[in-house]
Amino acid sequence: MSERKHSRWPLLGLVIAVVATATLALTGAAQQVPGLEFISPGHWIANPEAGLVVHVDGATKKPDTQMSVPGLTPGSQVVQDGTRGYVVGENDVTIFGKSTLSVEATVPAPVKGERPVPIETAGGAYSVFRQSGQIVRLGLDPKVISAGGPVGPPVATSDGTVWVHRTDSGEICKVARGAAGIDCPVVAPPGHSGALTVSGGRVVFVDSTADTMSVVEAKGLGSAVKLGIDVPPDARIATADAAGRLAVLDPSGNRMHLVEARVDEKGALAEQRPPAATVPLPAGEYDVPAVSGESVVLLDHKSSSVRTYDVEGREKHTTSIPQEKGKPEIVRGEDARVYVDGGEGKHVVVVDKDGSLQPVPVIGAKPEAPQQPVPQAADKPADKPAVKPADRPVAPPNTGRPVPPPVRTNQPKPPPQTPPPIPVTPPGMPQNLAIAISTKQVDATVTWGAAPANGAPVTAYHISWQSEGGRSGSASVPGTTLSYVVKGIWQGTDHPFTVTVVAQNSAGPGTPATARQVPPQSIKKINLTKGSLAPACDRSDCYWMHIVMTGFEPNTWYKVDPHSTAPGYSNPGHSLTTDEQGSAVLDAFYYHGAGHTVWVTAGGVESNRLRWTE
């Protein structure tokens, strides 16, 4: 039984607005709390012909920022993290600041002669070179981590961990967020082929040899669950689920299976599942299925088209890819949207989470140079005497044809055409908004990535906050700062609070980013041990029960009752009040029954059972 001694604090909203000029990216941020980070809201694409990299907003489906990058080569990829973009070319990587729109450094390409798979995740920006097994965390000081052999398609989880499957040894390896090395704790069955995917936030190994799937656990694979389909050796498996459905492409059979792969709260795959939905496909040359929200995305190179399907296998939308040289590439951004980049970087098809498709011109067509009129050839004039100064000029004969203008030699070339500047608009959302605080801390460290500049530098970040416990405040930070410490937000009792960050440039404040921090759920626990000798007892072998309560409601009254296996034992119990942290310590209920088992209860919680000794 329990009873509050204090009234509930009023629930209030917390808002933090932040405005700052972002000219430097933080290289060392406080530990970020999983689930609170704000994802990058768009996609960067390189247009080598124009010498530009362009940011396309995934929500508005419009280019909103561009910058010049010298020496762009065809096929360059752009990968982003919270503060920087990385243009991965054939021979080098150009690093630019997303808020300053300026090149910060150019470093040699860590691996040459192989096109990488780009990954954008909370842990940073990665290039994974599958053939050589190199996993590169991009940065000013890039980290190259070797998997030791070729790997299958990589996957990433929301905590920023990148996972790969060694196709030669069967090892399943992970590179944790910020880790300097690789860990390979799990091995697939010897001789079995397969691929990794992520379902419900858990990594799953799809065994195409046994036609099963298993959750990847800490020290091995979980129970194997039948897929219910025949998976061919050349199957292409989506790297993420769509609302619990896993897309398995059978390229030789021109069909796609949608398999129920939902992972429950305990991290297990259900044994009893609905049958897979099989979708017949037009004959084509399909890429690995991708997932945007709850839609499955297929890129068909043969027909140069993109198709989307719902989780039941019904086709939703189809669109042609704008004609370009080269091969289009399908990329899944950290914002969970899919982007299909044109081979020359002149268009991108944005696939939204509802399966809708929108081709976006990355750079408008260059205006053509004005055409000079081509003069017609004039008849050769007859020889005639030179005109004396006093003579009047004789008009040319009327031939019925227009007299061409005089032809100039060495005419200046028209100036090179540059793309029209993108209009200045308010900045986008600050990215990767995160709050770092633990139950042992009273101050919260708020960090964020630079907001998209949208044509003009970000000039400031404004901050305000409010706790559901009543604490609130506001602050402003310089433009070079991408963090702020909220002092004393968890002073005394830990209450949920919310933080909102808004960037501003010369066009005004932009779209806010908001994060809410909730204290971890307390686990009520009672620990019982044998205490000190009890003077109140008239026996020399009589000791107190030492009781430690944690995780209970703060400042709350509880009744503690002792129990024993001794026949007929009874005790009226003892009352106490927890402190501000929900803890209490009690020495009570002296006892001397050696060989009996004792325990206590309070507020519906039972302690450990203790065998009493002499």
What's the mean pLDDT in 518-547?
87
Q: What is the DSSP string of 135-190?
A: EEE-SSS-EEEE-SS-B---EE-TTS-EEEEBTTT-EEEEE-TT-SS-EEEEEPPT
The band of 411, judged by pLDDT with boundaries at 50, 70 and 90, is low
Task: For residue range 192-208, list pLDDT tens digits in order.
Answer: 999 999 998 999 999 99
pLDDT over 60 at 370, yes or no: no
Nearest to 276 by CA among 331, 305, 237, 307: 237
Q: What is the pLDDT of residue 422?
A: 60
pTM: 0.57
Q: What is the DSSP string of 561-598?
A: EEEESSTT-----EEEE--TTS-EEEEEEEE--TT-EE
Q: What is the pLDDT of residue 468?
A: 82
Alpha helices in 419-512 (DSSP H): none
Q: What is the pLDDT of residue 420?
A: 58
What's the mean pLDDT in 436-456?
82
Residue with the larger pLDDT of the pair 602 and 540: 602
Residue with the larger pLDDT of the pair 54 and 469: 54
Q: What is the pLDDT of residue 245?
A: 94
Distance CA 450, CA 120 (A): 16
What's the mean pLDDT in 418-433?
73
Task: For residue range 220-261, list pLDDT tens digits in order.
Answer: 999 999 999 999 989 999 999 999 999 999 999 999 999 999
Is the domain covering 525-611 a CATH 2.40.128 domain?
no
The CATH number for 9-19+439-517, chosen from 3.40.50.300, 2.60.40.10, 3.40.50.2000, 3.40.1410.10, is 2.60.40.10
The answer to whether domain 9-19+439-517 and domain 525-611 are alike in fold is: yes
Q: What is the pLDDT of residue 97?
A: 92
What's the mean pLDDT in 296-308?
94
Inter-residue contact 512 to 17 (CB < 8 Å): yes
The band of 268, judged by pLDDT with boundaries at 50, 70 and 90, is confident
Q: What is the pLDDT of residue 530?
A: 92
Task: For residue range 534-544, list pLDDT tens digits in order.
Answer: 888 888 889 99
pLDDT over 60 at 31, yes or no: no
List b or e across 291-302, with b for residues whose CB sees 16 or more CB atoms inside 10 angstroms. Answer: bbbbbbbbbbee
Q: What is the pLDDT of residue 35?
A: 34
pLDDT over 90 at 274, yes or no: no
What's the mean pLDDT in 161-173?
95
Q: What letter represents residue 24's amino acid? A: L
Domains of the chain by residue range: 9-19+439-517, 525-611
Distance CA 427, CA 519 (A): 31
Average pLDDT of the chain is 83
